[in-house]
Structure 1
Amino acid sequence: MMINIPLRILLVEDEKTDVVLIKRNIYQVVEKPVIEVVNDFPDFESVFKNFLPDLVISDFSLPSGTGLDVLELIKSIDESIPLIFITGALDDDELAAETIVSGASGFILKKHMSYLDQKLEPLLKQVVYNMIQHDELRERIRKNKIAIHQIYGYLESMKADDKEQRDNIKKIKNNLNKFNIENAE
């Protein structure tokens, strides 16, 4: 059965052929996915903060950084966003267990790429189930977080000429941090 909720998916993958295969498999499971693709950790960081996906699918080995870096950034911004690793690097059972203990929602080995849709389907259905449970609240929080990140960016770009302006910028940042913490609870 197809998932008919338009999932926002951020795909972190540096191999173009794997991007094509993964996207094809997502389309077999999700009717109208919105998929953003980045190929390294620095790009992931900037896109993630503005796109705020429902789900991240990431390779474990990246040109700059690892899947655990991706996981750490996700958890620092929004713990509720699930991460699925699709990788050839997790042959090591200990490393696989570590990713799950660290908070990944699951992982799929690239050697199973030929039936990736069957592996993805139960994980994506769980994501959708969790989304439906928190849908309205989640959308308000997403909009608030995007606004907060935009305000932070604006504050960072401001050149404060005098002490009073610098103090005011600091006060705004502190208030935003309080707002962020209260909304996270």
Structure 2
Amino acid sequence: MIHRKLNILLVEDNENDIFLIKRQLNKIVEEPVIETTDNLQDFKRLLSNFAPDVVLSDYNLPECTGLDVLTTVQELDDTIGFIFITGTIHDEELAANTILSGASGYILKKHMNNLGEKLEPLLKKIVINMTSKKELRNMIRQNKITVNKIYDYLDKMNSEDQAQKENINKIREAIGNFDINRTESDAG
């Protein structure tokens, strides 16, 4: 069992599958908070407003594919775990492509009876990654706060001396380069 709150965004159009997946999630996650949708527009809204820890998605949906959903997640926040739960992936190449595209895993719906057994290790792996990334995000957040405080201080400095103005501009430029380099190294 996963002993923490987990925000789960379920992208599924079949009501029976929604019921079965939710039932299995309640067995393996102590405190699941589950939102569901079956279309990309609502998904984008929920992705921003609900802030899921993991997205579970069918592959074939009425208005899009699971790969469209995965791409949307990656564009907004590529740290969000993504798992396909689908009946569509019969082709090994397509299954491999979902993983290569960035999915954390996939489970076939034919295994719905033992979904919990297959899903729990994938979710545990996502939770472990979330914990380590949370520490990194906090460090980045603190660095950005520090940089913003320095910018505020520089903005408050009222310099009439040309040499001081040039020095302030050099400091701003150096901070900007530092911030860009940090962002690039954090992305890598």
Scaled by the length of structure 1, the TM-score of the pair is 0.74
Provide the residue aligned with 1:21 in structure 2: 20
Does residue 26 of structure 2 align to residue 42 of structure 1? no
Does residue 95 of structure 2 align to residue 96 of structure 1? yes
Amino acid at match of 1:135: K
Residues 84-131 of structure 1 show CA distances to partners (whole Å, capped at 9, x for unaligned) of 000000011111111111111100000000000000010011011111
Ranges in structure 1 where 5+ consecutive residues have no aligned partner: 143-177
Ranges in structure 2 where 5+ consecutive residues have no aligned partner: 142-178
Q: Check whether the contact 1:41–1:62 (CA below 8 A) recurs between aligned residues.
A: no
Provide the residue aligned with 1:151 in structure 2: none
Number of aligned residue pairs: give it.
Answer: 148
Q: Considering only CA atoms, is the larger Rg found in Structure 1 or Structure 2?
A: 2
Q: CA deviation at 1:139?
A: 7.4
Q: Which one is further off, 132-141 or 91-100?
A: 132-141
Q: How far apart are the structure 1 equivalents of 2:27 and 2:12?
A: 19
Provide the residue aligned with 2:79 in structure 1: 80
Amino acid at match of 2:86: T
Does residue 53 of structure 2 align to residue 54 of structure 1? yes
* Distance change >3 Å, CA 117–CA 139, structure 1 → 2: farther
Give the share of equivalent positions with the same residue, in percent.
53
Q: Check whether the contact 1:74–1:81 (CA below 8 A) recurs between aligned residues.
A: yes
Q: How far apart are the structure 1 equivalents of 2:118 and 2:140?
A: 30
Aligned ranges 1:94-133 → 2 under 5 Å: 94-133=93-132
Aligned-residue CA RMSD in angstroms? 2.3
Scaled by the length of structure 2, the TM-score of the pair is 0.72
* Distance change >3 Å, CA 35–CA 137, structure 1 → 2: farther
Q: CA deviation at 1:137?
A: 5.1
Q: How far apart are the structure 2 equivalents of 1:112 and 1:141?
A: 40
Q: How far apart are the structure 1 equivalents of 2:26 and 2:122?
A: 14
Provide the residue aligned with 1:11 in structure 2: 10
Q: How far apart are the structure 1 equivalents of 2:56 and 2:91?
A: 19
